[in-house]
């Protein structure tokens, strides 16, 4: 879930990039950047992004296994 306190303008992010990078490294939470008041980008540190990818891969694997088990139970596979 995105922390509503972590929404900032792109201009502010550009002015304080180093500070935001340090913050993201410490808390591993993404920051939403706005352009003209509308959310446009999500910025995240590399470690947190890698964890997200690993969780997604795990969830996809579990879903595929569950689907395979359902198909076997329904007699779709020998």
Which CATH number is associated with domain 1-44? 3.40.1620
Q: Which helix (H) or strand (E) covers residue 3, if one does?
A: none
What is the pLDDT tens value at each position of the chain, 78 positions in all?
677 678 999 999 999 999 999 999 898 889 999 999 999 999 999 998 999 999 999 999 999 999 999 999 888 776
pLDDT of residue 56: 96
Both tokens of 4, joined, read 């509503």
Q: Which helix (H) or strand (E) covers residue 55, if one does?
A: helix 46-73
Q: Are 6 and 30 in contact (CB under 8 A)?
A: yes
pTM (predicted TM-score): 0.70
């Amino acid at each position: 879930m995105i922390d509503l306190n972590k929404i900032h303008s792109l201009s502010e992010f550009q002015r304080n990039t180093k500070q935001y990078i340090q913050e993201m490294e410490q808390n591993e939470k993404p920051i939403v950047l706005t352009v003209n008041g509308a959310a446009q980008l999500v910025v995240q540190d590399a470690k947190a992004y890698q964890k997200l990818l690993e969780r997604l891969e795990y969830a996809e694997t579990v879903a595929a296994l569950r689907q395979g088990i359902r198909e076997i139970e329904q007699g779709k596979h020998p």
